[in-house]
Amino acid sequence: MHAESPRMTGWQTLLYKEVLRFWKVSFQTVAAPVLTALLYLLIFGHVLSDRVKVYDQISYTAFLVPGLVMMSVLQNAFANSSSSLIQSKITGNLVFVLLTPLSHWSWFIAYVGASMVRGLCVGLGVFIITVWFTHVGFAAPLWILLFAVLGAGMLGALGLIAGLWAEKFDQMAAFQNFVIVPMTFLSGVFYSIHSLPPFWQRISHLNPFFYMIDGFRYGFFGVSDVSPWLSLGIVGSAMLVVGAIAVHLLRIGYKIRG
């Protein structure tokens, strides 16, 4: 019993530190992404509301809301763990965490856990703001929660991998701009993939972010481009793979231990 306490206290302290890190600048880490999503809704909803056909009896503005919420969850979960690690590596304060007897699992739980908190906070903020502009139902609330948690966890773990790999801010910016942003924008946030030509529909099915957003959207409307069970299987498998890679890199001290 006494042997477990230090480990629990350790990961809880690191988790608290990571949550406090982004919450101290919440105007930048939470409020700014919410504003960005709101601008997307206002611009795309106004310009494309009469031009883009989505599911029957669902307005384009309502269709946009779940996509914007999930996009915000994913991007901010990734940004939290990746930015924390790269900043700590460059400023040199990561050594103070390395000196502690924390296991690689404690690191993983703390960094990914904090990323999930930030991602879900931003997602909730985006939903609260955007839902004022349209009516969005809750056809299957458990699916909403499940995909939000899995998506935030996977991107938090992916951010951990990127933060361990990157050695400078330029590398991190390249990873985000050339991997994360394209995958989120091309995942069906602003359109149903059934509106795409067959070739691009097949390409979209190779993007795991598509399944996160499609499954998440199913929770609101009860309709989706693919079966939510297929989306759950793919997202769950991707989460396990990315999480296992992140844990392994932490275990061997990849680019953080000499």
Greater pLDDT, 76 or 43:
76
Provide long-range contacts, Cβ within 8 A and 24+ apart, for 190-196. 190/44, 190/48, 190/52, 190/64, 190/67, 191/52, 191/54, 192/54, 192/55, 192/63, 192/225, 193/225, 194/225, 195/52, 195/53, 195/54
Query: Over the stretch 3-51, which tens digit does the pLDDT of each residue have?
Result: 444 445 788 999 999 999 999 999 999 999 999 999 999 888 877 766 6
Give pLDDT, residue 5: 45
Give pLDDT, residue 120: 97
Spatial neighbors of 212 by CB under 8 A, at least 6 apart, are 70, 74, 147, 150, 151, 154, 187, 231, 235
Distance in angstroms (rounded) separating the CA atoms of residues 199 and 152? 29
Query: Over the stretch 167-185, which tens digit does the pLDDT of each residue have?
Result: 999 999 999 999 998 898 8
Greater pLDDT, 45 or 244:
244
Give the residue-averaged pLDDT of 55-80.
91
Residue 123's pLDDT band (cuts 50, 70, 90)? very high
Nearest Cα neighbor of 154 from 87, 81, 89 is 81
Residue 191's pLDDT band (cuts 50, 70, 90)? confident
- Give the chain's length: 258
Give pLDDT, residue 20: 95
Give the residue-averaged pLDDT of 76-97.
92
Give pLDDT, residue 52: 65
- pLDDT at 223 > cutoff 70: yes
Query: Over the stretch 52-67, which tens digit does the pLDDT of each residue have?
Result: 667 777 888 889 999 9
pTM of the model: 0.91
Give pLDDT, residue 256: 87
Give pLDDT, residue 49: 67
